[in-house]
A and B are shown apart, each in its own frame.
Chain A
Amino acid sequence: MHTSREFFPFIGLLAVISGVAIYGYVLQLTQGLGVTGLNDVTIWGIYIVNFIFFIGISHAGIAISATVRLMKLHRYHKIARIAELLTIVSLAMAGLSIVIDLGRPDRSYLLVTQYLKRFKFSPLTWDITAVGTYLTLSATYLYLTLRQDFKLLSERFTGLRGKFYGMLIPLYEVGEKATIDRLSFWLSVTILPIMVMVHTTVAWIFALLGSRPLWFTAFAGPYYIVAAVASGLGSVVVIAAVMRRIYHWEDIIEPMVFKGLANISMLTTLIYIYMMMAEQIGALYAGPEAEFLVSYEWIFGSFSGLFWGMTTLGLILPFAFLLWQAFKPGYVHIEGSAVACTILVIAFWFKRYMIIVPTLSIGIQQVGIYAPSWVEIAIMLGAFAIPILMYAIITKIVPLIELEEEETH
C-alpha cells in the first residue's frame, strides 16, 4: 500500500500525544491514583467513562460484519473489515482503560486466578467473561476472513514481505475457503447475541448497585445498547469516510453505504433521546430524594451546561442534519455525514461522563467535587491517540478492503 508524505507527521503527532499519556501513567503508577482528580466520594472518573465509551464503539464492527454476512447485504461488505478492525482496537482500549483505573495493576492477574470463586457474585467478572468471549470470537472471525487475503499477498510479494505474509497463514490448505466461509457464518450467528450481552453486562456493572441514583434502573441494558449502536456506527462512518478520502476508494465504497449507516445512527440517536427523556421525567416528577437531586443537577443545576450542550448541539443538531439527508431520496453528503457523526460520537462520550460523575458526586458540599487532573486528561487523549495510531499502523499491514472485492473492479 502506498504511504503518502503526510502519513509520517500525522503518526508523529499521535506518537507525541501517546508519549505524554504514557508519562502521565508512569506518574500515576509511581505516585498513586492521587494524581487524578478522584477522591473517596467521586471514585470513578474519566477512565471508566472511556471504558464504557470504547465498549460502545466496539459494537459497530462485528455487528456490521455479521449482519452483512447473515443478511447478504453485499453493498456493505466493503466496509466490513474497517469496522471489524475498529472492534478489535476499541475492545483492547476498553480493557486497557480498566487496567489504568486499577489501584494495583500489578495484581490484575487476580481477576483470572480468583475468577472461579467470584463469577457467581461479581458483575465485574460477568463483564470480563462477556468481553473476553467477544474479543476472542471477534479476533478469530477477523483472522479467518483474513487468511485468504494473506495468501494472495504472500503470492503477490516476493522476498521478505511475502515471507512475512506466508508466516501469518500456518497450515494453509488450497480448498479451505469453503470451510472458512461456513465457520464464519456460524461465528456470525454466535457473535450477534454475545454482542448484545457485552453491553448489557457493562450496563449491569452500574445498574446492579441498588444504592446509586439513576444507575439502578431496569432499562440500563437497552439504554446502553442503543448508545453503543449510535456511537459505534457513527465512528464507522467517520473512519470509512476518512479512509475513502485518503486512499481514493471513491469507486470502491458506494456513497449510499454512508447514508445507510448514518440512517441507523440517526434512528438510534432518536430512540436514545426518547429514553433519556423517559428516564428524566420519572426521576424529576416522582423520584426518591437522591434520584431527584441527580436529575435536578443534570437539567437545572451544576451539570446543566454540559447536559443541554450535549443534548442540543451534540445529539439534536446532527440528528436534524441526518434526518434531512434521510428524507432526500438518492442524496448523500459524505463529508456532512462524517462531521455529524463525529459530533454524535463526541456527544456520546460526554453522555457517559454525565452517567458516571453526577451520580457519584451529587449532594456533597465539601468533599467529592470532581475535576479531572491534567494526568487524567493526558491519559484520555492518549487513549484516543493510541487506537488511531494502532489503526493507522494496522492499515499498512492488513488489507482493509477484502482483496477479491478489489479485483472485481
Chain B
Amino acid sequence: MTKSNRRDFLKKVGAVGLFYAFNKIAVDYKNVGVPVLRQSTKVQYKDPVHGANFGMMIDVGACVGCRRCQHACRLENNIPDEPSNMHWIDVYEMENSTPITAVESIPPTGAVLDYEESPKDDHWYLSFNCFHCENAPCTRVCPTGATYADEDGIVLINYDLCIGCRYCMAACPYNARRFNWWDPKHETSRISPVDGSVVVLNEEVPLRTRGVTEKCTFCVHRTRDGENPKCVEVCPVSARHFGDLNDPDSEVSILRETERTINIRENLGTRPKLQYFTRGVKWNKDGEKS
C-alpha cells in the first residue's frame, strides 16, 4: 500500500467513524427504550444522464453461477451481512429441462437458490436483479411516490419517502425488491469473499434504515459517471453487459440488434431493460466451453 493510498484509506475510515459516532447516539437512544426510527443518510443520487436509457443484457448461456456479481454488489452497495441475508442479485440454479422461456414466475418453480457448487453439468444459471422496466408496475402503485423511474430509465427509491407498505413488492413480477425487516447492522469494513481484500462502507451509496424497501439501482453512483455497474465489472465470463440503449454504438444496443433477446414474463407488458440472450455456449465443470 503506497503512502497516498493509505492516507485515502484512513480518511475513509475516519469519515465512516464520524458517521458511526452520529449513528451511535441514535442506537443508544434506542437502548433506553425510546423507539428511534433512524432516518436514512442524506446521500443524494447523482443527476440523471440526459438523453440516456440504461439497460443490461445477461448471457445466460455463459453464466457459470459463481455469484461473484452477488458478493461484489453487496460490498459495493452497503448491503450488510447481518441480520438478514439480503441480496440485490439472486442466482438460481436451473435444470436444463426448464428453458428460460418457460420461466413463468420468479422465484422459478423448482429452482435452487442455495446451491453449493457451480457450474454443474445439465444446469444453467438464472441471475437477475431489478429489471428497471420501462412500464414498471412498482412505480405506478407506490402511494407516496418514493419509487420512481428517473429520466435515464433507472428505477430508484427515495428511502426518505418510503413508508414500508410493501405494495411495490407485491406489484413486482420479478421479486426484485427487498425489505428491511430488521435494523441493518453495518460494519465499517468487511473482507470480500471474492478476493479477500478489505472493503469499507461506500460513502456514495445511502444507508437504508429498518422498514424501507430497497433494490438494485444499476449502481447509479457509478453508471451516471460513465462506469459499468460493479456486477458487470467483476463477472469473470463477461456474461453481463451494460450500456445506453439510446446510443446505437453501445455494447447493449449492438447485442440487442444481433442476438435473439429473451424477456422474462413478456406477456405482462412490463418491457424490462434487463434482457437475456444466449449464444448457445454452455460451460462444463472444468470451465471449458462445450
B137 at the interface (CB under 8 A from A): yes
Tell me whether A366 and B182 are in contact in the complex, defined as CB-CB below 8 angstroms, given that A106-B37, A122-B140, A122-B141 are known contacts. no
In the complex, the answer to whether A366 meets B37 with C-beta atoms within 8 Å is no
- What count of chain A residues pass the 8 Å CB interface test? 52
A18 at the interface (CB under 8 A from B): no
Enumerate chain B residues within 8 angstroms of A408, measured Cβ to Cβ.
none
Tell me whether A289 and B109 are in contact in the complex, defined as CB-CB below 8 angstroms, given that A110-B163, A125-B143 are known contacts. yes
Interface residues of B in 106-144 (CB under 8 A from A): 107-110, 112-114, 137, 140-144
Tell me whether A366 and B112 are in contact in the complex, defined as CB-CB below 8 angstroms, given that A33-B181, A211-B173 are known contacts. yes
In the complex, the answer to whether A118 meets B173 with C-beta atoms within 8 Å is no
Enumerate chain B residues within 8 angstroms of A124, measured Cβ to Cβ.
141, 143, 165, 167
A110 vs B179: C-alpha distance in the bound complex, in angstroms?
Answer: 19
In the complex, the answer to whether A104 meets B211 with C-beta atoms within 8 Å is yes
Contact of B163 among A111, A363, A367 (CB under 8 A): A111
Interface residues of A in 112-160 (CB under 8 A from B): 114, 117-118, 121-125, 128
B166 at the interface (CB under 8 A from A): yes
Enumerate chain A residues within 8 angstroms of B198, measured Cβ to Cβ.
none
Interface residues of A in 26-82 (CB under 8 A from B): 26, 29-34, 36, 38-41, 43-44
In the complex, the answer to whether B144 meets A103 with C-beta atoms within 8 Å is no
Contact of A30 among B35, B107, B181 (CB under 8 A): B35
In the complex, the answer to whether B212 meets A104 with C-beta atoms within 8 Å is yes
Residue ID in chain A nearest B33 by CB atoms = A30
Residue ID in chain B nearest A110 by CB atoms = B144
In the complex, the answer to whether B163 meets A102 with C-beta atoms within 8 Å is yes
B164 at the interface (CB under 8 A from A): yes
Contact of B105 among A33, A101, A111, A289 (CB under 8 A): A289
B169 at the interface (CB under 8 A from A): yes
Contact string, B130-174, partner A, CB cutoff 8 A, digits 1/0? 000000010011111100000000000000011111110111110
A374 vs B141: C-alpha distance in the bound complex, in angstroms?
Answer: 31
Q: Closest Cβ of chain B: how far from A294's Cβ, in Å?
A: 10
Enumerate chain B residues within 8 angstroms of A36, measured Cβ to Cβ.
181
A242 at the interface (CB under 8 A from B): no
Interface residues of B in 1-43 (CB under 8 A from A): 30, 33, 35, 37
Enumerate chain A residues within 8 angstroms of B86, measured Cβ to Cβ.
40
In the complex, the answer to whether B145 meets A118 with C-beta atoms within 8 Å is yes
- Can you name 9 extra interface pairs (CB under 8 A) apart from A103-B211, A366-B114? A32-B181, A43-B166, A43-B170, A102-B211, A103-B180, A122-B142, A208-B141, A211-B173, A211-B265
Residues in chain B within 8 A of chain A (CB atoms): 30, 33, 35, 37, 83-84, 86, 104-105, 107-110, 112-114, 137, 140-145, 161-167, 169-173, 175, 177-183, 209-213, 265, 268-269
Residues in chain A within 8 A of chain B (CB atoms): 26, 29-34, 36, 38-41, 43-44, 98, 101-108, 110-111, 114, 117-118, 121-125, 128, 205-206, 208-212, 288-290, 293, 360, 363-368
